[in-house]
């Protein structure tokens, strides 16, 4: 067997149009490249190809998600509105989510890619997998796109797995932004544990607080870990060791999804955190270990954010290497520099915060 990978050229054709950083051009914003553009994802794929790792991965082919599959998470009216806009000239899916003509088909292919990859992991076609999907999904809400996301890829895949018979799924989100869409989708659903590590009050500002823990039967099955800006590898590792891994050990999912943003890296233009490739590698190791011990090793990474065209490739490669157990000859040329940055070690105020969150583990519904 091998580690699965998923990619489709059409993902790169999702058109976020011109912007200043992430605000659409117009007014006092001179048109420029949108920060969510194909370069970051394509350059990761390019590095996999250039170094030869691609040849050792098992490549999966996405199919479009059906409207019914999309509607497991989204309102039908929203889905149809997106299709209509896409058939015309494109538009904005809601908040900060511009797209061009044909965008619906690309986003549906993204959600379908998450489904295909999930099936391959579930059915042991591959050991585990990482899907380089675009557009991202974790901000998309039931009835509107947000934050560059049209459809909730991970939530749709999780619902698909549930419909296919799995009863317990965990989604861990290490994107620098809050996984608000994923949280919303499973807010009162105890069968899907959602854990999001994110920069405190960044995006969306109004969600992601530690106090948001799910509702009704779902209480306790949503954990937010809002890290203060400037969190380094030490803080992330500590949060995994104290909260994320224990929560999964208690929940005992049959399947683990990581919604993976490389915008928690030290060179991201949006996030203020400081992970480097070795940090992502270590977090992946922890997820492999816990998935191995509770979920038969069923681990799937789904690509979310990450806006450094130069550094995303090395973070992504580290994750693929760790998933596959293959170490290529590539050495991250930024690693020594980033690892030596002040603030990589766990700071006292970070420790205090994380220790406080550890109590939530006890409220996670045990298997």
**CB distance 22 to 270 below 8 Å:** yes
Contact call for residue 241 and a second copy (CB under 8 A): no
CB of 74 to a second copy, least distance (A): 23
Closer Cβ to a second copy, 228 or 246, answer by number = 228
Q: Measured between alpha carbons, how far is 316 from 170 in angstroms, rounded to an integer?
A: 21
Residues numbered 292-331 forming contacts with a second copy, rule: CB under 8 A: 307-311, 313, 330-331
Closer Cβ to a second copy, 21 or 367, answer by number = 21
CB of 176 to Zn ion, least distance (A): 5
Closer Cβ to a second copy, 187 or 334, answer by number = 334
- φ/ψ region of 320 (left if φ > 0, alpha if ψ in -120 to 50, else beta) reads alpha
Query: H-helix or E-strand containing 119?
Result: helix 103-122
Q: Measured between alpha carbons, how far is 302 from 89 in angstroms, rounded to an integer?
A: 28
Q: Is 241 helix (H, G, I), strand (E, B) or coil?
A: helix
Task: Exactly one of 139, 160, 177, 276 is catalytic; name it.
Answer: 139
Q: Nearest CA to 107 among 66, 59, 46?
A: 66
Q: 21 is written with which tokens?
A: 């950083």
Q: Is the peptide bond before 219 cis (omega within 30 degrees of 0)?
A: no
Residues numbered 248-277 forming contacts with Zn ion, rule: CB under 5 A: 261, 263
Which residue's CB atom is positioned nearest to Zn ion? Answer: 305
Residue 263 binds: one of a second copy, Zn ion, none (C-beta under 5 to 8 A by kind): Zn ion
Longest alpha-carbon distance in the chain: 54
Contact call for residue 230 and a second copy (CB under 8 A): yes
Contact call for residue 59 and a second copy (CB under 8 A): no
Q: Measured between alpha carbons, how far is 56 from 4 in angstroms, rounded to an integer?
A: 9
Residues numbered 128-187 forming contacts with Zn ion, rule: CB under 5 A: 175, 177
Contact call for residue 49 and a second copy (CB under 8 A): yes
- Would residue 139 show up in a list of annotated catalytic residues for this protein? yes
Contact call for residue 199 and a second copy (CB under 8 A): yes
Among 3, 4, 5, 39, which residue interacts with a second copy (rule: CB under 8 A)? 39
CB of 37 to a second copy, least distance (A): 9
Query: H-helix or E-strand containing 128?
Result: strand 128-131
Among 62, 190, 279, 305, which residue interacts with Zn ion (rule: CB under 5 A)? 305
Q: Measured between alpha carbons, how far is 258 from 208 in angstroms, rounded to an integer?
A: 17
Residue 218 binds: one of a second copy, Zn ion, none (C-beta under 5 to 8 A by kind): none
Indicate which residues carry an active-site annotation: 139
């Amino acid at each position: 067997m091998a580690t699965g990978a998923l990619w489709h050229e059409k993902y790169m054709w999702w058109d976020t149009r011109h912007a200043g950083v992430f605000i659409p051009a117009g007014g006092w914003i001179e048109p420029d490249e949108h920060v969510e553009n194909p370069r970051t994802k394509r350059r990761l794929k390019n590095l996999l190809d250039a170094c030869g790792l691609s040849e050792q991965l098992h490549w999966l082919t996405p199919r479009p998600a059906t409207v019914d599959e999309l509607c497991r998470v989204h309102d039908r009216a929203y889905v149809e509105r997106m299709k209509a806009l896409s058939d015309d000239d494109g538009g904005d899916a809601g908040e900060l989510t511009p797209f061009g003509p044909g965008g619906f088909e690309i986003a549906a292919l993204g959600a379908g890619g998450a489904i295909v990859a999930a099936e391959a992991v579930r059915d042991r076609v591959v050991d585990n997998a990482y899907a380089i999907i675009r557009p991202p999904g974790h901000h998309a809400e039931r009835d509107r796109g947000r934050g560059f996301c049209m459809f909730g890829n991970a939530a749709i895949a999780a619902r698909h797995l549930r419909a296919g018979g799995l009863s317990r799924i965990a989604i861990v989100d290490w994107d620098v932004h809050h996984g608000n869409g994923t949280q919303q989708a499973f807010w009162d659903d105890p069968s899907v544990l959602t854990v999001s590590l994110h920069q405190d009050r960044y995006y969306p500002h109004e969600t992601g607080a530690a106090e948001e823990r799910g509702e009704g039967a779902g209480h306790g099955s949503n954990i937010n870990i809002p890290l203060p800006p400037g969190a380094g590898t030490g803080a992330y590792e500590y949060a995994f060791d104290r909260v994320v891994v224990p929560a999964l050990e208690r929940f005992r999912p049959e399947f683990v999804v990581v919604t993976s943003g490389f915008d928690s890296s030290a060179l991201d233009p949006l996030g203020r955190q400081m992970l480097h490739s070795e940090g992502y590698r270590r977090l992946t190791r922890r997820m492999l270990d816990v998935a191995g011990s509770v979920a038969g090793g069923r681990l799937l990474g789904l690509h979310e954010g990450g806006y450094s065209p130069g550094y995303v490739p090395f973070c992504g490669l580290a994750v693929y290497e760790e998933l596959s157990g293959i170490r290529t000859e590539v050495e991250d040329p930024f690693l020594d520099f980033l690892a030596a940055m002040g603030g990589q070690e766990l700071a006292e105020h970070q420790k205090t915060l994380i220790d406080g969150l550890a109590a939530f583990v006890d409220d996670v519904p045990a298997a």
